[in-house]
């Protein structure tokens, strides 16, 4: 039996168009769009009608960077796939790409299997995986080919965290050469971790133990240096490169230079770098620990470079790097030693709203909002046009967004499994009203109507942003 929904009277916003249109959904996919009020639109009939007049009708968000249940610093990120994907849906995100982890001495396969086991049957929205490569060897390189074939088409490497996820330049070059052959996309955590560890040791020896020193030792210059090195290694390998969580003006400059040379180099930033700063890291009474993540928050001046990069397309994507640790019991592991604070911040629920606020504030256009948060991440990670747009044949992952509603972000009202909000008290104009995942209502007029296990694993094509 076919099931049909029509969303009537809203302003449909995609990365390329804005159109007052009715959207017909049939069997979980977009069947047709027609301009509101025309005979074609009036001919749409359905069992369920959603009135979107005065609202935006936008593609569900695609968050290309999350860490549900990630082991880090002797503890685990506090959101499970169940709680984290539910919170994502509340915030208008309908697809996440999470990072499966290869541990040193183990295969990519065993890491990927472990992530499938965590996610399967537990997600409220659709999900896919990148693979963190921590141990580059002959076997790993062969496994990369197999993973690309089965839909895990991107691989994260770390120039930071020696002894944990770190790869040296030779290992990075080998993985990039492999990716150049098999079509995979290398994602880089670009910070010079060897140098940073020296600065950490020296800071602690001077008695500099507060969270704010996390920001001081992880220098912008060491992000820029690693970004430059990653770009040139990728150029030598003939591979495209995607730099994750770009935070510093100097790192954006490296990306801009490479792109002006015509290299296939891409950059992602995250809401925390656009909206927060070292002022937060310096909050007294160990509160700064809430904002410890890597790359670190930067002085406020860096924000302008990130906004400019998003406007000039030297940065293409905003993901969250959602990796929540509770203040109580988890962030507290680093009292008296900032290097023991688990790295990561919550945000999967807040991204679409914060970026809508950026539209209201004039940083980006409405269509650019959808491009950086939905369409480009879908294309970058091989999910387009199934995800990231509203067009005939696409999955009906759709958000009805009220651009006039006012809300205040708070841990009291959010749905992430973490005891604080990084954006506590922040006023946002705009709010998610209704969310469909493959046509099923996950949020209905601010009520949760989703189901654990509705979300399915979604294998990916190779990067579509290169074509
Ligand atoms: O601090 C962060 N970003 N934690 C998550 C792991 C990573 O490096 O992305
Ligand atoms: Zn990282
Ligand atoms: Zn440029
Ligand atoms: Zn991350």
The count of other CB atoms within 10 Å of the CB of residue 404 is: 9
* Rounded distance from Cα 354 to ligand 2 centre (Å): 21
ipTM computed for the complex: 0.92
pLDDT band of residue 348 (cuts 50, 70, 90) is very high
pTM over 0.90: yes
- Is a pLDDT exceeding 60 seen at residue 1? no
User: Can you read off the two tokens belonging to residue 281?
Assistant: 């890291």
* Rounded distance from Cα 322 to ligand 1 centre (Å): 8
**How much is the pLDDT for 73?**
85
Q: Which atom of ligand 1 is nearest to the CA of 293?
A: 1
Q: What is the mean pLDDT of residues 158-170?
A: 97
Q: Going by CA atoms, what residue is nearest to atom 7 of ligand 1?
A: 294
Compute the distance between CA of residue 179 and CA of residue 169 in angstroms, rounded to an integer. 15
Q: Which residues line ligand 1 (CB under 6 A)?
A: 67, 189, 245, 293-294, 321, 323, 343-344
Q: What is the mean pLDDT of residues 355-379?
A: 98
pLDDT band of residue 423 (cuts 50, 70, 90) is very high
**How much is the pLDDT for 2?**
66
Query: Do 166 and 226 meet the contact criterion of CB atoms below 8 Å apart?
Result: no
* Rounded distance from Cα 104 to ligand 3 centre (Å): 38
pLDDT tens sequence across 227-241: 999 999 999 999 999
Compute the distance between CA of residue 206 and CA of residue 203 in angstroms, rounded to an integer. 5
Q: Which atom of ligand 1 is nearest to the CA of 189?
A: 8
Axis crossing angle, helix 249-260 with helix 302-312, rounded to the nearest 10: 30
Collect all residues with Cβ–Cβ distance below 8 Å to 282 and sequence separation of at least 6. Answer: 211, 212, 288
* Rounded distance from Cα 77 to ligand 1 centre (Å): 10
Q: Which runs of consecutive H residues, i.e. helices, occur in 151-219?
A: 169-182, 193-205, 212-217
Q: Going by CA atoms, what residue is nearest to atom 3 of ligand 1?
A: 294
Note residues around ion ligand 3 (Cβ under 5 angstroms).
Answer: 256, 259-260
Domain ranges of the chain: 61-380
**How much is the pLDDT for 467?**
76
Q: Provide, rounded to the nearest whole percent, the portion of the chain with pLDDT above 70.
A: 100
Query: Do 92 and 428 meet the contact criterion of CB atoms below 8 Å apart?
Result: no
Give the ligand with the smallest distance to the CA of 344.
Answer: 1
Q: Which atom of ligand 1 is nearest to the CA of 67?
A: 5
pLDDT tens sequence across 369-404: 999 999 999 999 999 999 999 999 999 999 999 999
Compute the distance between CA of residue 438 and CA of residue 383 in angstroms, rounded to an integer. 14
Compute the distance between CA of residue 341 and CA of residue 332 in angstroms, rounded to an integer. 7
Q: What is the mean pLDDT of residues 435-440?
A: 98
At the fourth CATH level, which superfamily is domain 61-380? Answer: Metal-dependent hydrolases (3.20.20.140)
Q: Provide, rounded to the nearest whole percent, the portion of the chain with pLDDT above 90.
A: 99
pLDDT tens sequence across 120-155: 999 999 999 999 999 999 999 999 999 999 999 999
């Amino acid at each position: 039996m076919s099931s049909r929904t029509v969303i009537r009277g809203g302003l449909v916003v995609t990365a390329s168009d804005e159109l007052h249109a009715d959207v017909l959904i049939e069997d979980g996919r977009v069947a047709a769009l027609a301009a509101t009020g025309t005979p074609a639109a009036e001919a749409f009939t359905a069992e369920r009608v959603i009135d979107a007049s005065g609202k935006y009708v936008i593609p569900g968000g695609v968050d290309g960077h999350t860490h549900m249940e990630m082991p880090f610093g002797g503890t685990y990120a506090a959101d499970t796939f169940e709680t984290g994907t539910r919170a994502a849906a509340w915030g208008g995100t309908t697809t996440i790409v999470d990072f499966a982890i290869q541990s040193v001495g183990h295969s990519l396969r065993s890491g990927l299997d472990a992530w499938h086991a965590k996610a399967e049957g537990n997600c409220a929205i659709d999900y896919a995986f990148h693979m963190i490569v921590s141990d580059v060897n002959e076997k790993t390189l062969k496994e990369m080919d197999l993973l690309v074939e089965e839909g895990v088409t991107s691989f994260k490497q770390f120039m930071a965290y020696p002894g944990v996820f770190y790869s040296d330049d030779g290992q990075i070059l080998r993985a990039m050469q492999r990716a150049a052959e098999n079509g995979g996309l290398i994602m880089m955590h670009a910070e010079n971790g060897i140098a940073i560890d020296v600065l950490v040791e020296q800071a602690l020896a001077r008695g500099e133990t507060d969270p704010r020193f996390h920001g001081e030792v992880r220098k912008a210059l060491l992000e820029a240096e690693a970004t430059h090195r990653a770009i040139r290694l990728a150029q030598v390998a003939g591979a495209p490169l995607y730099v994750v969580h770009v935070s510093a003006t100097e790192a954006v400059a490296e990306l801009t230079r490479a792109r002006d040379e015509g290299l296939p180099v891409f950059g992602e930033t995250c809401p925390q770098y656009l909206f927060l700063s070292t002022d937060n890291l310096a909050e007294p009474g160990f509160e700064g620990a809430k904002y410890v993540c890597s790359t670190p928050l930067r002085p406020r001046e860096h924000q302008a470079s990130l906004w400019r990069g998003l406007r000039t397309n030297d940065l293409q994507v905003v993901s969250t790097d959602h990796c929540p640790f509770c203040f109580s019991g988890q962030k507290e592991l680093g009292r008296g030693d900032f290097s023991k604070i688990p790295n990561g911040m919550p945000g999967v629920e807040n991204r679409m709203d914060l970026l809508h606020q950026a539209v209201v504030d004039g940083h980006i256009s409405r269509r650019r909002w959808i491009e950086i948060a939905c369409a480009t991440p879908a294309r970058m990670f091989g999910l387009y046009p199934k995800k990231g747009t509203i067009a005939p044949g696409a999955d009906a992952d759709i958000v009805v967004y009220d651009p006039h509603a006012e809300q205040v972000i708070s841990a009291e009202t959010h749905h992430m499994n973490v005891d604080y909000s990084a954006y506590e008290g922040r006023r946002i104009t705009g709010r998610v009203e209704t969310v469909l995942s493959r046509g099923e209502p996950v949020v209905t007029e601010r009520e949760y109507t989703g189901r654990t296990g509705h979300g399915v694993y979604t294998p990916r094509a190779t990067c579509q942003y290169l074509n």
